[in-house]
Structure 1
Amino acid sequence: MLGLAGGVLGAFALLRRRALLGDVLAHAALPGIALAYMATGTKAAGPLLIGATASGVLGVLAMRAITRWSRLKEDAAMSLVLTVFFGLGIMLLGWVQRMPGGNQSGLDKFLFGQAASIVPRDLQVIAVAAALLCLAILVLYKEFKLLAFDPDFGAVLGFPVVALDLLLSLCIALAVVIGLEAVGVVLMAALLTTPAVAARYWTHRLSVMVPLAGLFGAASGVVGTLASQIGPRMPTGPLIVLAASLLFFLSLLAAPHRGLLARLIRLRRAQAQASPRRPDGTPLGQAAAGPRPGDGA
């Protein structure tokens, strides 16, 4: 379910040239997790995810404010928000470790993920959030499509482009937050980006790319989870990301139109068609067909 929601949202983030937005929001959620634990003293997923959501939303608003009120471009704003929020989160985690009982807080699972710690209540939260995110994409598909390809034209038509962009960022933030406990801060960004990049190699149509990215994300989750059961103490989150990476490399090589093998075949055909030939059709580098002088003798 995490891979499905992440792949669908990642398709629009990729086309909006916001591939690193998931990475930024994943790192921006860390201070909220630490502050929520310091305020409540509990390791329950509910308060920690609320803190992560608030911190992620604050990161989105900070990025929007930087790009609007300064001369910095979006990539510089994302880099700034990522480093500042992640540094603050690491500092707060250091304070947590010095708190009574802080060493047993278990907050490090939000850095690298711990799928084994998920309980049925967490699964229900993930299912509801993933369903709402996919429903939002389905309802606003036309608006997000316009936002991805021509936001200026959308603004001329009267669409609230800024609000739609903010809504898309908030949806990505929610997808990141619900995946923190299972996959972790470091790897959730890959689950948003890699399935979408892999799907982009197979089609030129958004209506195909979006469900295909969701399918790749879901397949990565299933394959990675099953692979983690093969050997003892094999981490689930990294294996999910490795499964997504394997799908990407297969797409990079074998996609029918944009894959490397297809491009190599087209290049060879073009070279063969462009090579100079004799009137009988044989290339100049080969001997001409027919009898040669002296063959009759």
Structure 2
Amino acid sequence: MLSSIISLFSDYTFQTVALGSALLGLISGVLGSFAVLRRQSLLGDGVSHSALPGVVMAFVLSGSKNTEVLLMGALISGLLATLFIVSIVRHTRVKFDSALALVMSVFFGLGLVLLTYVQKIPNSNQAGLKRFIFGQASTLLQRDIILMVICGLILLTLVLLFWKEFKLFTFDGDFARALAFPQRN
């Protein structure tokens, strides 16, 4: 029994998955707290669904499943979706949750159409792209952990540097406006 537990904790795959999950939980917990407190937690869901066409287009353009390239495509697509959501809310009478649902469904639908197109291409390299998009912790590699550590350190450093500003915007938006900070949701 004890030898089974020791062999489990010495397994490379288990160590990689456990470390990756712990890092993801730490980073998401810190950033997600501010999103929940500002009542914008659904924006993360919208951005994650909107990343699908960016990932597929990055694969189509690069022809490889390089994690950094696919994440760059997801970042561009997610930022574009966020820009659309904010623009719809700011320039129309549509509420935030309706704009989020609209943009999320359009981007996700476009991503599924692109994914169907890619799966019909006679390219054996596209196999497993669906698993990358929808996640599978057992496929984490050591370079993925290194990328998570680098991104996590950057994000956590930014949170520490702007800690007072984050608290100010999160808990007292009126005081932030009184101090002449630009206040936008």
Q: Identify the match of residue 116 of structure 1 among 119, 138, 152.
A: 138
Stretches of structure 1 lacking an aligned partner (at least 5 in a row): 166-297
Larger radius of gyration: 1
Q: Which residue of 2 aligns with 1:142?
A: 164
1:151 aligns with 2:173: yes
Cα deviation, 1:204-246, whole Å, max 9, x if unaligned, reads xxxxxxxxxxxxxxxxxxxxxxxxxxxxxxxxxxxxxxxxxxx
SS at match of 1:92: helix
SS at match of 2:129: coil
Stretches of structure 2 lacking an aligned partner (at least 5 in a row): 1-22
Cα drift, residue 102 of structure 1: 5.6
Cα drift, residue 160 of structure 1: 2.7
Q: Which residue of 2 aligns with 1:286?
A: none
**Does the CA contact (< 8 Å) of 1:43 and 1:106 recur in 2?**
no
Amino acid at match of 2:155: L
- TM-score in terms of structure 2 length: 0.82
Q: Identify the match of residue 58 of structure 2 among 36, 40, 46.
A: 36
Distance 2:120 2:46 in 1: 27
Cα deviation, 1:120-159, whole Å, max 9, x if unaligned, reads 2211110011111111111111111121123233122111
Cα deviation, 1:175-231, whole Å, max 9, x if unaligned, reads xxxxxxxxxxxxxxxxxxxxxxxxxxxxxxxxxxxxxxxxxxxxxxxxxxxxxxxxx
1:130 aligns with 2:152: yes
Structure having the higher helix fraction is 2
Query: CA RMSD of the aligned region, Å?
Result: 1.6
Q: Identify the match of residue 73 of structure 2 among 46, 51, 65.
A: 51
Distance 1:12 1:31 in 2: 27
Q: Which residue of 1 aligns with 2:105?
A: 83
Q: Identify the match of residue 65 of structure 1 among 77, 81, 87.
A: 87
- TM-score in terms of structure 1 length: 0.52
Q: Identify the match of residue 7 of structure 1 among 29, 35, 46.
A: 29
Amino acid at match of 1:121: R
**Does the CA contact (< 8 Å) of 2:64 and 2:125 recur in 1?**
no
Distance 1:34 1:61 in 2: 20
What is the identity percentage for the equivalent residue pairs of Structure 1 and Structure 2? 47
SS at match of 2:128: coil
Distance 2:120 2:111 in 1: 15
Distance 2:101 2:38 in 1: 17
Matches within 5 A, 1:19-34: 19-34=41-56
Distance 1:57 1:26 in 2: 10
